[in-house]
Chains A and B, each alone.
Chain A
Amino acid sequence: MKNIDSYTHLRGESVYLDDIPMTNGTLFCAVFDSPIAHGKIKLLDTAEATTMAGVVRIFTAADIPGENQIGGIIPDEELLANTHVHFCGMPIALVVATSDEAARAAIKKIKVEIDPLPIITDPREAKGKGELIIPPRTFQLGDTTNAWSKCDYILEGQTETNGQEHLYIETQGAYAVPQENGAFRIYSSTQGPTAVQRTVARVLNLPMNQVEVDTTRLGGGFGGKEDQATTWAVLCALASYHLKKPVKYSLHRMEDMRMTGKRHPYSSDFKIGLSKELKILAYEATFYQNAGAAADLSPAVMERTLFHCNNTYFIPNVKATAFCCRTNLPPNTAFRGFGGPQGMFVIEAAITKAADALNIPASEIQQKNLLQTGDEFPYGQIADSEANECWNKADEQFNIKELQKGVDEFNASNKNHKKGLAIMPICFGISFTKTLMNQARSLVHVYTDGSVAVSTGAVEMGQGVNTKMLQVAASVFSIDPSKIKINTTNTYRIANTSPSAASATADLNGIATEIACTTILQRLKEVAAEELKTELSSVEIKNERIYIDGKATDWDWNKLVMAAYVKRISLSELAHYTPPGIHFDATKEKGHPFAYHVYGTSITTVTVDCIRGIYEVDAVKVVHDFGKSMNTMIDIGQCEGGIVQGIGWMTMEEIIYDKEGKLRSNALSTYKVPDIYSVPKEITIQSLTTEKNNLAIFRSKAVGEPPLMYGIGAYFALRNAVKAFNPTTVIPFDAPMTPEKVLMSLYPNT
């Protein structure tokens, strides 16, 4: 089934935040943000700005009726800086004007004097100074201390992975419209409508039932609108609260890039020990997470780094420690993979370092250590593994040896161009690692004309979740999809939602929808049994027709729905779902946090132009563990998109902050994401289809995040190509592998 939004998308008729028809009298706002990364506000002068044409009012921290606090996990982030600023881009004041241009013009007239305080941009420096957002955490399996003596090879090293700008093409934005009796309706481009609702209530000192948050869809999220969409919605609500007018803010791209957090940069240390047989016996890693100036989601992101520190390998002795380091950068936040990719990069670097030292391909080590079913993860969960199945199928389908041979032959016969190949097997846990967030609700109404409306907590942001919800309802009811409408995500219809994140949205909301539909279906079948005077067990509904013992009757869906209504049977259901069996004890760092894992293997080949230091990705060939995909087109799309986004992170996307904490890569002209010419020439995705009884919706495994990590293969393939040109070069494990780093590695002595 095609994405149900494709018709309006392709005609430009889909409605995003900035397309919502505005109410008369709507005002526009813009944020005045800190030009300094750390300091004490000495003077804030808004006098001239206030007199500018069109300016209605300028708000500061003093105007907040409730708590000046937007921190979700830890209350450590002010909405508007009161006495201190902690990062460049921290909101200080909010200008409200009669037009967008007037608000922005007034921003330029605000003056601030800030007494500077020391600026930290490096996570190791922050850790050294004790600037930790939460105490460090350590995951442990076996005993590494004793294991080292049993290792034949031990290698140590350091890695760096840079951040990543989400670059959703639709920037952040919100629109607050006051309702009677002091309530608000807020349109927000958010992955977490409940987070917006909760924070608006907190800042305005209102009960949550006064705040309706409505989200139709996002023009991309990728984690960037999980927590950080909240600020703009709360600011609009604050202005609307005081002015009793609708207030809108749709950020300009540079405002968005400057003021919002990104994927966390990490600096990490590793130590890996192997036996002669290439079994990894011990692994230690220390992660320094650059959290930025406030907690945001960093503690949870850091936790997932630990969960994925061993990637898809069984290692009997593991010790991984992570530090959540406070720096003077915008608070970094969720981004597809949520800390997992950063952890996985380090183990891959460790394996590569060992392979280099032993002068063997990394794949020999990778393959020998893949997780088997029954193996234990460092956090205590027992693997139900598809790692070997994916690897073996990839070898069968693509013939790894032949591919490597092709690369070697090319390299032997070409002087100025070299190819490189790398394999990237992945394993990603599905569930919110905060167990309580694994809950969802779905509200299904069947109307008397037979049409159906479904509301869930899922937010559509391109991942196709609405299409999947519709498929669930259509499949359970066995009715034509055209009879079903998926409603906007709205906190008045579905309360206390978890954000659309962690790849789990379709599972959680889908199963809730399945339960709701099944419950209504059961009632309808009872009605049919009664009306048609038969046993309940002999009633079946197929393609909108009622069957008794396999025989079609003259009753159809619409007639049955009306009959149920006449009999005063409820045609609505609100269902609640929470996956069974998941738990985690953070005091022991052990448990069973994930409903299941997703596996896969990718093979990436690249070609480097060794004169210019530029490169192309020739192919990414993948076997991916889809379970039993419920929508191949959507799932393949998630894979392709994830792979390219991962490659972007590993190659051309380079976040640059200067020592003063100012973002230098602050526009699309200085921050480059993949364009159509820079994507792999070939992406082939084969499915490992399994029908095991997992906790996924219709046994279709989650697909949002895992494919991003195939992109890591591009980094190691580039490294291998550079080494083919210059075997003695020492290449630091420092991603992204920009053309600059490639050229400098090709010619390290110049």
Chain B
Amino acid sequence: MLQFILNDKTIATDNPSGMTMLDFIRYHQHLMGTKIGCREGDCGACTVLVGEIVDDKLVYESMTSCLLPIANANGKHIVTIEGINFPDTLNPIQLAMADEGATQCGFCTPGFVVSLAGFCLSNKSENAIAAVDGNICRCTGYKSIERAANKIAAIVKEKKEADAISFVTKHKILPEYFSEIKERLMSLKNVAAPIHHSPLTTHLIAGGTDLYVQKQEEMVYADSRYVFDHPELNSIIKEGNKCILGSSVTVSDLMASPIFNEAFPLFQQYAKLISSTPIRNMATIAGNFINASPIGDFTIFFLALDAQLILSDGKIKRELPLRKLYKGYKDLDKRKEEHIEQIWFELPDKNSYFNFEKVSKRTHLDIASVNTAIHLRMNGEAIKEASLSAGGVGPVPMFLKKTSEFLIGKKVNDKIIEEIITIMQSEISPISDARGTAAYKTLLLGQLIKSHFINISKESHESHQ
């Protein structure tokens, strides 16, 4: 039996824990405001808010309900468009959108409104546009939505350090019942039982952003272990120079982590290139590794950092470098019963340079044509250690070993960069597909390697000023 609060109603359901929240909302609760656009997390028409208590605070994140198993709602608050309506008036979010003409056919509209409600509930008080980076509209051309989002940001600006929930209820941005949710969730938590799965199952579901795209129908009735909400798998800790991630750490967790933002000053920029807010709220780093896409953004990121995996089958643990995980296309050095328990890597230090590059057909919310990351440890002007990774240029996400080795001891100049590119080309084997021709990917990776060094020289220039 799963229990959660849906809008202002407490739900107890025996539906299969793998059912999507989207189907549950629309076809079991008959709340038709949440729309189906693509069922793969790419349009945002089905966006809902998921509220949970973290460190004694009720926090909300937007998620696409098409990829959200109801198991991952257990003990939480799910908010749909119906849950943010006042009985007979538009709330200030809706009013801003109406006044700016930000709705035409209206089909994507509830998703936008819910995402913006998520912005109002967040601790952010500036860029409301980032909150709708996962919502696609085919009618308006977005300018009216931008104008509405800016109006909403202006309203929320006064929020400052105040508690978001009391702010939005006090200013009648969202209904009064939000102020009681925390208490209600706390009493719910005590009765929420763990989700049943057979002890033998090897099927793990974390954020669901891959499995629910690939095989949604299968997932509904699958005998799965849901690991998204295990507190021991959600931590990011620093031990000396080592950074250790639990396997359910999401992209948004990294974005919020002071450890990451300090170690990678451009981390927010990198992350903005990767999927969208609701997907980043669900997608885990470990899931990105195991998906084994040759183009996985965080796989490329962590390959350059020489991340190490702690694999466990429940009894025996072993450590495996991420670089050794991929044996061939979607072929992993991992037994079925093994799963990633932890990921650790050495944080870059003051003598390090790190950069991540990604180019896709659409700059945001798209899969890369080519991505690449570089991590250098310097000894004065010479390179002491080098790691260069690249995606989209072979059957697996690649650590470019020969190219990386060549860099050691070198001082970078234009001639060296040309040589690096020549060596890189001997290591890759791109194919032509929907993301570009082989010739394009080869050229592009060379350009992105140039970009790495342009960024690095910029950075070193700035740090010397």
Taking Cβ atoms with an 8 Å cutoff, the residues of A that contact B are 2-3, 5-16, 18-19, 101, 104-105, 166-171, 217-222, 250, 252-253, 416, 461-464, 611-614, 633-634, 636-637, 640-645, 652, 654, 656, 664-665, 667-670, 672-679, 683, 738-740, 743-744, 747, 750
Q: Is B107 in the interface zone, CB < 8 Å from A?
A: yes
Q: Is B282 in the interface zone, CB < 8 Å from A?
A: no
A-B contact pairs, 7 of them (CB 8 A): A3-B104, A7-B90, A12-B31, A19-B32, A637-B141, A676-B146, A738-B361
Residues of A with C-beta under 8 A to B146:
676
Q: Is B191 in the interface zone, CB < 8 Å from A?
A: no
Residues of B with C-beta under 8 A to A16:
35, 107
Smallest CB separation, B19 vs chain A (Å): 11
**How far apart are the CA atoms of A673 and B141 in the complex, in Å?**
11
Smallest CB separation, B104 vs chain A (Å): 4
Residues of A with C-beta under 8 A to B36:
18, 171, 250
**How far apart are the CA atoms of A575 and B413 in the complex, in Å?**
78
Q: Are B359 and A612 in contact (CB under 8 A)?
A: yes
Say which residue of A5, A171, A675 sits within 8 Å of B106 (CB atoms). A5
**How far apart are the CA atoms of A738 and B360 in the complex, in Å?**
10
**How far apart are the CA atoms of A633 and B148 in the complex, in Å?**
13
Would you call the interface of chain B mostly helix, strand, loop, or mixed?
A: loop
CB neighbors of A among B25-57 (8 A): 26, 31-40, 42-43, 45
Say which residue of A416, A613, A645 sits within 8 Å of B359 (CB atoms). A613
Q: Is B367 in the interface zone, CB < 8 Å from A?
A: yes
Q: Are B104 and A462 in contact (CB under 8 A)?
A: yes
Say which residue of A7, A219, A250, A612 sits within 8 Å of B105 (CB atoms). A219
For the complex of A and B, the 4 pairs showing the least CB-CB separation, nearest first, are A12-B33, A462-B105, A219-B107, A9-B106
Chain A minimum-CB-distance residue to B132: A676
Q: Are B105 and A675 in contact (CB under 8 A)?
A: no
CB neighbors of A among B172-186 (8 A): none
B378-422 interface code vs A (CB 8 A; 1 in, 0 out) = 000000000000000000000000000000000000000000000
CB neighbors of A among B58-104 (8 A): 80-82, 85, 90, 94, 97-99, 101, 103-104
**How far apart are the CA atoms of A363 and B60 in the complex, in Å?**
52
Residues of A with C-beta under 8 A to B98:
2-3, 6-7, 10
Given contacts A19-B32, A463-B104, contact A640 B144 (CB under 8 A): yes
Smallest CB separation, A128 vs chain B (Å): 26
**How far apart are the CA atoms of A747 and B442 in the complex, in Å?**
12
Candidate in B42, B45, B99, B143 with the most chain A CB atoms within 10 angstroms: B143
Chain B minimum-CB-distance residue to A738: B361
Q: Are B141 and A743 in contact (CB under 8 A)?
A: no
CB neighbors of A among B399-457 (8 A): 433-437, 439-440, 443-444, 446-448, 450-451, 454
Chain B minimum-CB-distance residue to A750: B443
**How far apart are the CA atoms of A250 and B435 in the complex, in Å?**
29
Q: Are B451 and A611 in contact (CB under 8 A)?
A: yes
Smallest CB separation, A303 vs chain B (Å): 26
**How far apart are the CA atoms of A386 and B386 in the complex, in Å?**
63
Q: Is B126 in the interface zone, CB < 8 Å from A?
A: no
Q: Are A667 and B369 in contact (CB under 8 A)?
A: no
Residues of B with C-beta under 8 A to A7:
90, 98
Smallest CB separation, B285 vs chain A (Å): 20
Taking Cβ atoms with an 8 Å cutoff, the residues of B that contact A are 26, 31-40, 42-43, 45, 80-82, 85, 90, 94, 97-99, 101, 103-110, 113, 129, 132-133, 135-146, 213, 217, 357, 359-367, 369, 433-437, 439-440, 443-444, 446-448, 450-451, 454
Q: Are A676 and B217 in contact (CB under 8 A)?
A: no
Say which residue of B138, B144, B437, B444 sits within 8 Å of A168 (CB atoms). B138
Smallest CB separation, A618 vs chain B (Å): 14
**How far apart are the CA atoms of A643 and B113 in the complex, in Å?**
24
Smallest CB separation, A576 vs chain B (Å): 29
Residues of B with C-beta under 8 A to A14:
106
Q: Are B107 and A12 in contact (CB under 8 A)?
A: no
Residues of A with C-beta under 8 A to B451:
611-612
Would you call the interface of chain A mostly helix, strand, loop, or mixed?
A: loop
**How far apart are the CA atoms of A664 and B437 in the complex, in Å?**
13
Q: Are A3 and B103 in contact (CB under 8 A)?
A: yes
Residues of B with C-beta under 8 A to A462:
104-106, 139
Chain A minimum-CB-distance residue to B357: A612
Q: Are A169 and B94 in contact (CB under 8 A)?
A: no
Candidate in B32, B38, B104, B146 with the most chain A CB atoms within 10 angstroms: B104
Q: Are A636 and B101 in contact (CB under 8 A)?
A: yes
Chain B minimum-CB-distance residue to A682: B143
**How far apart are the CA atoms of A664 and B433 in the complex, in Å?**
8
Say which residue of B82, B365, B440 sits within 8 Å of A740 (CB atoms). B440
Residues of B with C-beta under 8 A to A5:
103, 106
Say which residue of A10, A633, A678 sits within 8 Å of B362 (CB atoms). A678
Given contacts A13-B33, A668-B38, A744-B439, contact A634 B101 (CB under 8 A): yes
Given contacts A644-B141, A664-B433, A668-B40, contact A614 B359 (CB under 8 A): yes
Q: Are B81 and A11 in contact (CB under 8 A)?
A: yes
Residues of A with C-beta under 8 A to B107:
16, 168-170, 219-220
Residues of A with C-beta under 8 A to B141:
637, 640-645, 674, 679, 683
Q: Are B43 and A668 in contact (CB under 8 A)?
A: yes
Known: A7-B90, A12-B80, A679-B143. 12 other contacts (CB 8 A): A10-B103, A12-B81, A169-B35, A170-B37, A220-B105, A253-B37, A668-B38, A668-B42, A675-B364, A676-B133, A739-B359, A739-B360
Residues of A with C-beta under 8 A to B82:
11-12
Given contacts A644-B141, A744-B439, contact A217 B101 (CB under 8 A): no
Q: Are B450 and A611 in contact (CB under 8 A)?
A: yes
Say which residue of B106, B217, B454 sits within 8 Å of A101 (CB atoms). B217
Chain A minimum-CB-distance residue to B358: A612
Given contacts A169-B35, A253-B37, A644-B141, contact A10 B359 (CB under 8 A): no
**How far apart are the CA atoms of A656 and B37 in the complex, in Å?**
21
Residues of A with C-beta under 8 A to B101:
2-3, 6, 633-634, 636-637
**How far apart are the CA atoms of A645 and B113 in the complex, in Å?**
22
Q: Are B33 and A744 in contact (CB under 8 A)?
A: no
Say which residue of B142, B365, B434, B447 sits within 8 Å of A612 (CB atoms). B447
Q: Are B94 and A220 in contact (CB under 8 A)?
A: no
Say which residue of B32, B42, B135, B443 sits within 8 Å of A669 (CB atoms). B42
Chain A minimum-CB-distance residue to B451: A611
Smallest CB separation, A165 vs chain B (Å): 10
Candidate in A15, A640, A643 with the most chain B CB atoms within 10 angstroms: A640
Say which residue of A3, A10, A250, A633 sits within 8 Å of B113 (CB atoms). A10
**How far apart are the CA atoms of A654 and B361 in the complex, in Å?**
9
Smallest CB separation, B458 vs chain A (Å): 11
Q: Are B448 and A612 in contact (CB under 8 A)?
A: yes
Smallest CB separation, B372 vs chain A (Å): 11
Chain A minimum-CB-distance residue to B109: A9
Residues of A with C-beta under 8 A to B34:
12
Residues of B with C-beta under 8 A to A416:
454
Residues of A with C-beta under 8 A to B434:
656, 664-665, 670
Chain A minimum-CB-distance residue to B450: A611
Smallest CB separation, A422 vs chain B (Å): 19
Residues of B with C-beta under 8 A to A672:
360-362, 366
Smallest CB separation, A248 vs chain B (Å): 12
**How far apart are the CA atoms of A404 and B119 in the complex, in Å?**
39
Chain B minimum-CB-distance residue to A167: B138
Residues of B with C-beta under 8 A to A3:
98, 101, 103-104
Q: Are B37 and A169 in contact (CB under 8 A)?
A: yes
**How far apart are the CA atoms of A632 and B446 in the complex, in Å?**
49
Given contacts A7-B90, A612-B451, A750-B443, contact A637 B104 (CB under 8 A): yes
**How far apart are the CA atoms of A584 and B437 in the complex, in Å?**
46
**How far apart are the CA atoms of A191 and B39 in the complex, in Å?**
24
Chain B minimum-CB-distance residue to A11: B85
Q: Are A667 and B40 in contact (CB under 8 A)?
A: yes
Chain B minimum-CB-distance residue to A170: B107
Smallest CB separation, A577 vs chain B (Å): 26
**How far apart are the CA atoms of A168 and B107 in the complex, in Å?**
9
